[in-house]
Chains A and B, each alone.
Chain A
Amino acid sequence: MTALSRDEVAHVAALARLDLDEAALDHFTDHLSSVLDYAAEIDSLDLSDIPPMVHPLPLRNVFRRDAVGGVVDREAVLAQAPDQDGERFRIPPILGEK
């Protein structure tokens, strides 16, 4: 593991849908690099025969009955949206259409 470059941070920011100016890029490159430097302590550990743990419970495939339960009112949900047309969320163009 090595410290991150500015280009790598810019790439990760783009993946995370964040826009960083030059000062922010410097700031986050330092911040992320310091954490990853610390994490380098696990580089030398050979854990190949240890299984990964995804979460603490031995639960698998939790099902419920296929029946209509309580639902949240659509109008109440849409009322909290930044933009909507009474039935759906409204967003800016996706594919460059006008």
Chain B
Amino acid sequence: MAVADIATRVRAGDSTAVAVVEEYLAKIRSTDGDVHAFNLVTADVALAQASAVDDAVASGHDPGPLAGVPIALKDNMCTEGIDTTCSSKILEGWKPPYNGTVVDRLRDAGAILVGKTNLDEFAMGSSTENSAFGPTKNPHDLGRVPGGSSGGSAASVAAGMAALSFGSDTGGSIRQPAALCGVVGVKPTYGAVSRYGLIAFASSLDQIGPFATTVEDAALALEVIAGHDPLDSTSIPSPAPALLPELDKGVDGLRIGVISELANAADPDVAERMTAALGALEAAGAKIVEVSVPAVVYGLTAYYLIAPAEASSNLARFDGVRYGLRVDGADVQEMMIRTRTAGFGDEVKARIMLGTFALSAGYYDAFYGKAQRLRTMVRRDFDAVYQNVDALISPTSPSIAFEFGDKSDPLAMYKCDVCTIPSNLGGDPAMSVPFGTGDHSMPVGVQVLAPPNGEQMMFRVAAAVERAAP
């Protein structure tokens, strides 16, 4: 059932939040043993929250636009008193003493937390294989990855275990798993959604966004979580735009660009789907133009220098002093080394060291400094292209979901993010919309990109893509 329909029924008293939540908890019990989308199922919390929503309705109070809607949160968002692990042994058992802003806004809108979802450790990965607690499986084929890093969040919605879920996207970690699992995934403009309470990976790139089964549900979810937050100094001060009124406007007369550098990066089955989506947009009245964004070919290199550099700094806080794991040592230095060595997995260690190297004396200018200049080039290239088009289209992922263990070479895994990284570097909004299936009947996503603060245009185009989807 659509999210808006669930909320409408609960707000009207036609259904109870408890009944809705029990239905989803039953689905989790029957399905998650196979899929492993969840690190933690919060059944008791969910039923208590649902009862509170039902009490509010009974006493004549409106619980909000997500009344009784079961949601799942990526396990890198702080939830007061509820385990928040980042799928890392270094935070296993930690219960944050506060809620992230997104968590509070969802609760205040009447949403019900059914669980915390699995991820690549500290959101570093594109398959959820890097979780310290075991991988999540793709609900469409349990032998294939769900994508990542927000693989648990994508799989939870794809398998009907949550009506909405939320993830974080640093280089594609919402959009790529959304594409691979056949759901909608949105990375909003940098600063559109508060990161207060999101455990930081790469602070100049991280952004929270929703997963949903439809573009309309995603719009409703983003309307709830977006908007200025004084607790996040990178939060955009202006009010968040209304999205739902955009969905039915159509694309007649719009100019939509297809990014040639990214179109050429996709496998044939994915490229065929994107071409079909472009044909549908053209049939709906849009003018399709091929455009070049030359700097995106260096996006992967820029990202894999900038993101590890920021991560090496952000993850310095995991030192065994204030929270999480501590492995004792004779002095504080030995304690910190033992704790970090035992607590972090291999991919996290690799990225911390890569970032430490990129920032170290003698290498800063050649690596980190140059990557930042490339970032300016990506921004300038996008700005130039948006002089002539309203929105852009590309594949979301260059391939369908791959099999477990298929990308053991780190560079092969990093290249999964080639189409999604440019939006993080530029700070632009982008979203993935399902558009049929490719090889092996696996889902394919089409990416819709828009200029900074262009969420209204992005959702307008995304809705048109969805209407034309098979």
CA A57 – CA B206 in complex, angstroms? 13
Q: Which of B346, B356, B375 contacts A16 (CB 8 A)?
A: B356
CA A54 – CA B96 in complex, angstroms? 29
A94 in contact with B332 (CB, 8 Å): yes
A53-B379 CB under 8 A given contacts A92-B332, A94-B332: yes
A39-B301 CB under 8 A given contacts A18-B353, A54-B372, A55-B190: yes
B346 in contact with A53 (CB, 8 Å): no
Q: Does A86 contact B (CB under 8 A)?
A: no
CA A35 – CA B412 in complex, angstroms? 10
A39-B305 CB under 8 A given contacts A47-B377, A72-B97, A77-B97: yes
B233 in contact with A62 (CB, 8 Å): yes
A82 in contact with B325 (CB, 8 Å): yes
Q: Restricting to A44-89, which residues have a CB under 8 Å from any CB of B?
A: 45, 47, 50-57, 59, 62, 64, 72-73, 76-77, 79-83, 89
The 18 sampled A-B contact pairs (Cβ below 8 Å) are A16-B312, A17-B337, A18-B341, A18-B349, A27-B346, A34-B410, A34-B411, A35-B414, A45-B298, A47-B370, A50-B376, A51-B373, A52-B375, A54-B204, A64-B230, A80-B323, A91-B332, A94-B332
> How would residues 358 to 392 of chain B score, 1 for a CB under 8 Å from any chain A CB and 0 otherwise?
00100000110111111111010000000000000
Closest Cβ of chain B to A33, distance in Å, is 10
Binding site for B on A (CB under 8 A): 1, 4, 8-9, 12-13, 15-20, 27-28, 31-32, 34-36, 38-39, 41-43, 45, 47, 50-57, 59, 62, 64, 72-73, 76-77, 79-83, 89, 91-94, 96
CA A72 – CA B98 in complex, angstroms? 7
A92-B340 CB under 8 A given contacts A15-B356, A53-B375, A53-B379: no
Closest Cβ of chain A to B316, distance in Å, is 8
Q: Does B330 contact A (CB under 8 A)?
A: yes
How many residue pairs link A and B with beta carbons under 8 A? The number is 160
Give A34's nearest chain B residue, CB to CB: B411
A51 in contact with B411 (CB, 8 Å): no
Q: Does B245 contact A (CB under 8 A)?
A: no
B230 in contact with A80 (CB, 8 Å): no
CA A45 – CA B316 in complex, angstroms? 32
B95 in contact with A28 (CB, 8 Å): no
B335 in contact with A91 (CB, 8 Å): yes
- In the bound complex, residues from chain A placing their C-beta under 8 Å from that of B321 are 81-82, 89, 91
Give A64's nearest chain B residue, CB to CB: B230
Give B357's nearest chain A residue, CB to CB: A12
Closest Cβ of chain A to B233, distance in Å, is 4
A18 in contact with B344 (CB, 8 Å): yes
A57 in contact with B190 (CB, 8 Å): yes
> How would residues 324 to 358 of chain B score, 1 for a CB under 8 Å from any chain A CB and 0 otherwise?
11101111111111101100101001101110110
